[in-house]
């Protein structure tokens, strides 16, 4: 099985509690359970990581790339809109990545409408809720 990393950024540990009118009431654990099931059905062994700290996410990208991860699914949360460092970390691996946003960033506040990190990804999926992760997994089966 190919190992695939699913990285979650700041405040995603608050899913289920944080703005349920935007993100719903399911938790990060619920999301990971869904991803795990779908990933295995598609031939992926998922590895999960969540951090509220930019440097920890960068360190994990490097560590995972050096340990044989074949692809990334990333939801860097607010860092997506600000972090050139995370973009550079993804680019440095040479591995395919898909960026996912649970909410539709094009319909959010103006400062959320552009992703700095999406340029290091082969696709961005936005506004599809948790199903966006399923779409990202499917996209990665073609690379």
Residue 16 carries which DSSP code? Answer: T
23, 79, 81, 133: the active-site residue:
23
111-133: average pLDDT: 94
Catalytic residue among 8, 79, 81, 101: 101
**Bridge-based pairing state of the strands 2-8 and 44-50:** parallel
The CA distance from 4 to 47, in Å, is: 6
| Residue 133 annotated as catalytic | no
CATH class of 2-140: alpha beta
All structural domains of the chain with their residue ranges = 2-140
Q: Structure pTM? A: 0.93
Both structure tokens of 111: 């400062």
Q: What is the pLDDT of residue 109?
A: 78
Q: CB-side exposure of 37: number of CA atoms within 13 Å?
A: 6
DSSP designation for 121: S
How far apart are the C-alpha atoms of 57 and 17, rounded to whole Å?
A: 22
How far apart (Å, rounded) are the C-alpha atoms in residues 23 and 124?
18
pLDDT at residue 108 above 90? no
- On whether the CB atoms of residues 16 and 59 are closer than 8 A, the answer is no
The residue among 143 and 8 whose pLDDT is bigger is: 8
Per-residue pLDDT tens digits for 70-89: 999 999 999 999 999 999 99
Is 23 in the active site?
A: yes
């Amino acid at each position: 099985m190919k190992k695939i990393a699913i990285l979650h950024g700041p405040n995603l540990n608050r899913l289920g509690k944080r703005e349920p009118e935007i993100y719903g009431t399911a938790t990060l654990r619920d999301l990971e359970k869904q991803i795990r099931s779908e990933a295995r059905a598609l031939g992926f062994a998922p590895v999960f990581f969540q951090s509220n700290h930019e440097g920890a996410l960068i360190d994990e990208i490097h560590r995972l790339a050096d340990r044989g991860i074949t692809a990334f699914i990333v939801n860097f949360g607010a860092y997506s809109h600000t972090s050139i460092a995370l973009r550079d970390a993804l680019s440095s691996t040479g591995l395919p990545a898909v960026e996912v946003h649970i909410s539709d960033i094009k319909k959010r506040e103006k400062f959320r409408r552009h992703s700095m990190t999406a340029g290091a990804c082969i696709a961005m999926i936005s506004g599809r809720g948790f199903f966006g992760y399923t779409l990202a997994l499917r996209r990665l089966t073609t690379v």
